[in-house]
Structures are given as C-alpha cells and as structure tokens.
C-alpha cells in the first residue's frame, strides 16, 4: 500500500492528504437543511449531512489528490449513525481509488491491539467466514504502550499489505509535555522515532517502509532530526495551514528524492469556502472552493520544495 | 460519578470491575450456534453472540459488582454491528445500575479530543437538539499528546459529572519501553502520574478525584510509588489473574481508607467456565461460572487487603 501511496503522490505531483474531519459548523446550511428535512435534527440527520458534505468534496478533489484522512473522532461523536457515515466515507473514497488513512490513534496491548488492527485493517473471522470491519488502507497508532501495542498491527499490515503512521511528535502546543522530555540527553520523541524506524525495517516496501510516522508541521527543527533518524519512514505531517505550519517549514520533512512526507490539511481544504481567500465561491459552491484550495496547497508546497533544491 | 463508583464498591464490598472483553473463542458453542442460526456467520451474527453472552454474564453478576469495563476494541473489530453490540452492552449495564467504564484508550488534540469526549461521555449538538453518542460513565484515555489532549475530556467530565482513567503505567511486558525511561532520574510514568494528580485536583469529588489513573497489577512496586504520588486518584488496575497479577500484590494500590483502587478482571471472569477451577459448571452454565469467579475474586482480594491491615 505504501507503493500505491507513493505512486499516487508522484502521479498527482501532490504530497498531500485531505483530512475529512467534518464538523457540523463547516457544513453549509443548505446541506444541513436537506439532511434534517429527511432525517430530522437527529444523529442520523447529522450523519447524513456529514456524508453528503464529504461526498461532494471527494467528488470535486479525488482526481487531484493521492489520499484522504478521515478523523474517526468527528464521526464517533455522533454514535452509531456517525460510525456508519465514517464507514460510508471510507468505502466511497476507496471506490474513487484514493488511499484511505484512518486517523484513529488507537493503541492497546496484545489481543486488544490485534482486535483494533483486525477491525481497521484486516479481516475478522466469524465461524467459517471472514469479513472486513472498517477496512482502511493505513491507520494512525499511539505508541505509549510499547512494542506489545505495535506488533499486532505489524502482523496485520504484513498480511494485508497495509500500513501505519505511528505518533512520534504531534503538532499541538503541549505535545512537548511528555514527548520532549530528555532521556539520556535525547528527547522521548527521538526514542520513539528510532523504534518506528526499527519496526519499519521489518515491513519494507521498495524504498520506503509501510510503517510511517506522524510528525507535526509545527516543529520543523524536530522534523529535520527525525527525517535523518528515520530515513526510510514515510512521515505524515499534520499542522499545515490552520494549525500554523507554513509550506516553507515543510522541506526538512522530505528526503532528497522529493519523497518521504505527505502533508495533511483538513479545515483548510474542507472548510475553504469559509476563508476570505475563497469566499467568492459562496456556500453553494463549497466543494469548488475545496478544489481550488487543493490546487493552491499543491502549488504552495511544490514551490517550497523547489526552493529546497 | 466517582461517588457512585465508591459507594457501589463499599456497598458490594468488592473493589472489582468485570472486563466485558468478549472474544468469539470465549463464547460457548450453543450461544454462537443460536446467533448464527438467526443471523448467519456474519458480522451481525458475531455481534448477536457477543451481546447474548454479555447479557447472560451481566444478569448473573450485576448484584455483586460495582462496575463493568467493556473493551471497545473487541466490538470495533466487528465493524458497525460490533459497535451496535457495544452500545447495547453499555445501555444494558446502565439499566442494571452498573458503573460503565468504556475502555477506549482514545487520545487526540483540541477539537478532536473534544469530539471523543462528547461522543463517549457527553452530548453532541445537532441543530436545536442534543444527543448522547455512546454515553459511558468513565473512559480510559491515552496521555501521550499532553494536556491539549486531556483538557477537552476534563471539560466534558465537569459538565456531565463523569470521569476518566488516564493511562500511567500499563500492565504489559513492554510497557517500560517508553513509560520507564528516566527523565531527571524519574521514570516517565511518574511524570505522567504527577500530571494526572494535577488534572485530578481540578475535578474533585468528596475524597477522590473523578480523574483516575490506570496502573497495571503486574508492577506492584511502581503501584506503591504511584499510590503515594497520586493520593486522591482512583487507580484502575488491570492485569490481575490472566496477565499474572496476584491479589497479594494489590495491597499497595489501595489507600489506608481501604479505597482508591478498583481491580479489573476480564477473561478470568467472563471465560471462567473454561478454567479447570470452574469446568464443573459446564459450558451450558457459563454465566454461573462467572458468578462464582466474581465471588472468589472478591474473597481473594479482600483476604489480601485484610492482611495489609
């Protein structure tokens, strides 16, 4: 699956992933009203609005982008109907041949981690049959519990030719509280990064491992160090745009081959029509605004990368 | 909600929580066959078997125990039907007046953490209405992302009078890989423990905070240190029984008042009929075996605690 991700990045000349993290406040009134008219102001109504919103954005951007990253929390908050909207979104994006990174940040131990891995990447056995639960291509994983939490995911990834992005250094202001603490003079995130590189060695594609890392765009100096520490690791980079990460900060996350990183933008794309730069599209054409925001993001990043060379 | 948990622990004289972590291999053949006959060997069939299995165990144990801890991964692996079984289990346990600890180990940042908190503990707003998503009483949370990940949960807990158990030192063999690393001479789990105590100060019940910690039974020496570091923190202790934690190791997790800890057993209770000690019950009476296992666990723990005094 890392090969597919890389070839789609190259084909689109766009190392970008669109974060499908819908909040009801992002969804235009006409989409909400239509969903509520059919299902009422209910969890089902909210889930329908989210699904229609996602579908419109995917329909207008899928030819430009390699991947999407639905954030499961934004669906899970609407209970079962929300989870159904998540699953529909995953399935639809796969139909459109997009690589789907489930941003689930799960992490547990032993048989419990195995259950998460099975549910999101693999097949669960029921009697003589087996079924995919949510069936993403990649998922994000939390490393706090150590190898016992990661190994069951690696096993499923090998079997299914799928992948992970393991949290190393997150983009938020307080990420340093634990992640930056010094251990023998090196921050914890470097120790985690080294482990990610080790786990990755066991799961190699051609040039890159299918075990990736998450490193926030908001910490470019740390990104530089981690890039060197994990040379064969694909880095998923959140925090561009809305969280304050600039394109000029992104160069250190890439390798000399122009690969090795994929930049996420969520709000900046899916709620583009709410920004002054795109307000001329109007709420009626929210998905066209998202398309333009993808084009501009691609340009912004490629410009920054060309300055690197 | 911490008051309810404590009063139910005192009332039952049982600081124990039953982990509802059903695996299909735990479920007796007659339960599976009935579910498959109705729904086929499908995700729905598996979910029905899990639900019937849980219901039988809850029906035979609810009068002895204060709380249950369904492990969401075991449901999530069966996709949407599994999530529906999780929700049915949560609702049924609450009907039986049990305190429900959702073992979800979620953790993200900002609006995403807020969405998890809303979905599992709070109410989500849809237009002019609001709804509970999964509606557990407590959830487990992963601290790796720092305060930005925890604060949104604290806000919902205050509003809803609910609580958390934050991972501090987990019960698995490799938990030390990151959690035991020394920072200024102290292990990371102590730093996390101190933060949990700080967060807990902001969310006090009468004697204990409603922000608790997870500390594995398999590390009693560390439990002793953490007990002192977090005097007002309720400790959820996994790892008793199947994972190797012994009752004699549990005393350090409790305070002088006999409170401050709640011990989880999953497999040891729900799959008791598969153990030699309870095999005389037979698979037909699996739930009665679970009841006896609860009684024995209560006895085992209370004996160990009485030796402490």
Helix (H) or strand (E) holding B161: none
Instruction: Please tell me the predicted confidence (pLDDT) of residue B242.
Output: 73
Asked if A192 is an interface residue toward chain B (Cβ–Cβ < 8 A), one would say yes
What is the percentage of chain B residues whose pLDDT exceeds 90? Answer: 94
Residue B70 falls in which region: left (phi positive, over 0), alpha (psi -120 to 50) or beta? beta
Mean pLDDT of B269-294: 97
Mean pLDDT of A72-86: 98
Instruction: Please tell me the predicted confidence (pLDDT) of residue B288.
Output: 98
| Interface contact B115-A174, CB threshold 8 A | no
- Quick one: three-class SS letters along A171-236? CCHHHHHHHCCEECCEEHHHHHHHHHHHHHHCCECCCCECEEEEECCCCHHHHHHHHHHCCCCCEE
Q: Nearest CB to A79: which of B87, B129, B192?
A: B87
Contacts of B132 in chain A (CB under 8 A): 79
Contacts of A171 in chain B (CB under 8 A): 109
Mean pLDDT estimate for chain B:
96
Asked if B129 is an interface residue toward chain A (Cβ–Cβ < 8 A), one would say yes
For residues B178 and B188, is the Cβ–Cβ distance under 8 A? Answer: yes
Closest-CA distance of chain B to residue A309, Å: 34
Asked if A130 is an interface residue toward chain B (Cβ–Cβ < 8 A), one would say no
Asked if A276 is an interface residue toward chain B (Cβ–Cβ < 8 A), one would say no
pLDDT in tens, B169-222: 999 999 999 999 999 999 999 999 999 999 999 999 999 999 999 999 999 999
Q: What ranges make up the beta strands (E) of B39-188?
A: 67-68, 99-106, 123-126, 129-132, 138-141, 163-169, 182-183, 186-187
Top-confidence range, A173-182, B10-19, B237-246: B10-19
| Interface contact A147-B106, CB threshold 8 A | no
| Residues 202-221 (B) with a CB less than 8 A from some CB of A | none
Contacts of A149 in chain B (CB under 8 A): 172, 174
Question: Rounded to whole angstroms, what are the CA distances from A257 to A14, A227, A233, A260, A300?
Answer: 14, 13, 13, 8, 19
- CATH 3.40.50.720 holds for A1-303: no
| Interface contact A80-B87, CB threshold 8 A | yes
| Interface contact A144-B179, CB threshold 8 A | yes
pLDDT in tens, B126-167: 999 999 999 999 999 999 999 999 999 999 999 999 999 999
Residues recorded for chain B: 309
Residue numbers of B annotated as active site: 105
Instruction: Please tell me the predicted confidence (pLDDT) of residue A241.
Output: 81
Asked if A183 is an interface residue toward chain B (Cβ–Cβ < 8 A), one would say yes
Asked if B41 is an interface residue toward chain A (Cβ–Cβ < 8 A), one would say yes
- Of A45-49, A242-246, B230-234, least confident by mean pLDDT is A242-246
| Interface contact B188-A188, CB threshold 8 A | yes
The nearest alpha carbon in chain A to B74 belongs to A115
Asked if A244 is an interface residue toward chain B (Cβ–Cβ < 8 A), one would say no
Question: Rounded to whole angstroms, what are the CA distances from A102 to A43, A149, A166?
Answer: 21, 17, 12
CA distance A236 to A281: 30
- Quick one: three-class SS letters along B114-152? HHHHHHHCCEEEECCEEEECCCCCEEEECCCCCHHHHHH
| Interface contact B131-A79, CB threshold 8 A | yes
For residues B293 and B57, is the Cβ–Cβ distance under 8 A? Answer: no
The nearest alpha carbon in chain A to B173 belongs to A148
| Interface contact B105-A108, CB threshold 8 A | yes
B241: pLDDT strictly greater than 90? no
Contacts of B266 in chain A (CB under 8 A): none
Please choose, from the candidates B190, B126, B243, the residue with its C-alpha nearest in 3D space to the C-alpha of residue A24: B126
Closest-CA distance of chain A to residue B124, Å: 7
Contacts of B120 in chain A (CB under 8 A): 76
| Residues 81-110 (B) with a CB less than 8 A from some CB of A | 82-84, 87, 105-110
Instruction: Please tell me the predicted confidence (pLDDT) of residue B308.
Output: 60
**Hey, is A255 helix, strand or coil?**
coil
The residues, ordered by sequence, that sit 6+ positions from A8 with a Cβ below 8 Å of its Cβ are: A66, A67, A98, A99
Instruction: Please tell me the predicted confidence (pLDDT) of residue B252.
Output: 94
Mean pLDDT of A173-196: 95
Closest-CA distance of chain B to residue A86, Å: 10
pLDDT bin (cut points 50, 70, 90) of residue A248 is confident
Mean pLDDT of A67-88: 98
Asked if B181 is an interface residue toward chain A (Cβ–Cβ < 8 A), one would say yes
Contacts of B29 in chain A (CB under 8 A): none
What is the percentage of chain B residues whose pLDDT exceeds 70? Answer: 99
What is the percentage of chain A residues whose pLDDT exceeds 90? Answer: 94
| Interface contact B116-A80, CB threshold 8 A | no
Contacts of A125 in chain B (CB under 8 A): 24
| Interface contact A124-B74, CB threshold 8 A | no
pLDDT in tens, A125-140: 999 999 999 999 999 9
Task: Count Cβ atoms within 10 A of the Cβ of residue A19 and give its class: 0-12 exposed, 13-18 middle, 19 or more buried.
Answer: buried
* A69 tagged catalytic: no
pLDDT in tens, B73-117: 999 999 999 999 999 999 999 999 999 999 999 999 999 999 999
Active-site annotation holder among A55, A105, A186, A207: A105
Instruction: Please tell me the predicted confidence (pLDDT) of residue B246.
Output: 84
pLDDT bin (cut points 50, 70, 90) of residue B244 is confident
Instruction: Please tell me the predicted confidence (pLDDT) of residue A308.
Output: 60
CA distance B293 to B306: 20
pLDDT bin (cut points 50, 70, 90) of residue B248 is confident
pLDDT bin (cut points 50, 70, 90) of residue A244 is confident
For residues A131 and A168, is the Cβ–Cβ distance under 8 A? Answer: no
Top-confidence residue, A53 or B240: A53
**Hey, is B245 helix, strand or coil?**
strand
**Hey, is B247 helix, strand or coil?**
helix
What is the percentage of chain A residues whose pLDDT exceeds 70? Answer: 99
DSSP result, A42-99? SHHHHHHHHHHHHHHHHHHHTTT-SEE--BTHHHHTTHHHHHHHHHHHHHHHHHTT-E
Instruction: Please tell me the predicted confidence (pLDDT) of residue A71.
Output: 98
Mean pLDDT of B24-47: 98
Q: Nearest CB to B76: which of A115, A170, A192?
A: A115
A301: pLDDT strictly greater than 60? yes
pLDDT bin (cut points 50, 70, 90) of residue A26 is very high
Task: Please identify which residue in the block is written with the tokens 């930056």.
Answer: A180
CA distance A97 to A100: 9
Contacts of B21 in chain A (CB under 8 A): 112
Whole-model pTM? 0.97
Mean pLDDT of B292-305: 95
Instruction: Please tell me the predicted confidence (pLDDT) of residue A48.
Output: 98
pLDDT bin (cut points 50, 70, 90) of residue A243 is confident
């Amino acid at each position: 699956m890392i090969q597919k991700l890389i070839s789609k990045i190259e084909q689109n000349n766009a190392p970008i992933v669109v974060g499908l993290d819908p909040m009801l406040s992002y969804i235009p009134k006409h989409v909400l009203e239509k969903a509520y008219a059919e299902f009422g102001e209910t969890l089902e109504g909210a889930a329908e609005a989210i699904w229609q919103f996602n579908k419109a954005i995917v329909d207008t951007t899928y030819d430009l982008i390699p991947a999407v990253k639905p954030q499961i929390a934004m669906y899970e908050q609407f209970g079962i109907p929300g989870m159904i909207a998540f699953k529909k979104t995953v399935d639809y994006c796969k139909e459109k041949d997009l690589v789907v990174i489930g941003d689930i940040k799960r992490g547990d131990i032993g048989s419990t981690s195995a259950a998460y891995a099975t549910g999101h990447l693999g097949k669960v056995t029921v009697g003589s049959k087996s079924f995919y639960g949510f069936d993403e291509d990649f998922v994000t994983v939390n490393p706090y519990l150590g190898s016992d939490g990661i190994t069951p995911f690696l096993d499923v990834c090998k079997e299914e030719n799928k992948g992970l992005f393991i949290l190393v250094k997150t983009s938020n202001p307080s990420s340093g509280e634990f992640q930056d603490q010094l251990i023998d003079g090196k921050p914890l995130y470097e120790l985690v990064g080294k482990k990610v590189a080790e786990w990755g060695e066991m799961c190699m594609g051609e040039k890159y491992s299918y075990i990736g890392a998450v490193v926030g765009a908001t910490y470019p100096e740390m990104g530089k160090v981690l890039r060197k520490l994990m040379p064969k690791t694909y880095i998923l980079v959140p925090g561009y745009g809305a969280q304050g990460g600039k394109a000029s900060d992104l160069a250190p996350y890439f390798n000399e081959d122009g690969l090795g990183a994929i930049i996420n933008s969520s709000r900046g794309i899916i709620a583009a029509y709410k920004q002054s730069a795109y307000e001329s599209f109007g709420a009626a054409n929210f998905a066209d605004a998202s398309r333009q925001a993808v084009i501009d993001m691609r340009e912004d990043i490629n410009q920054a990368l060309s300055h690197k060379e």
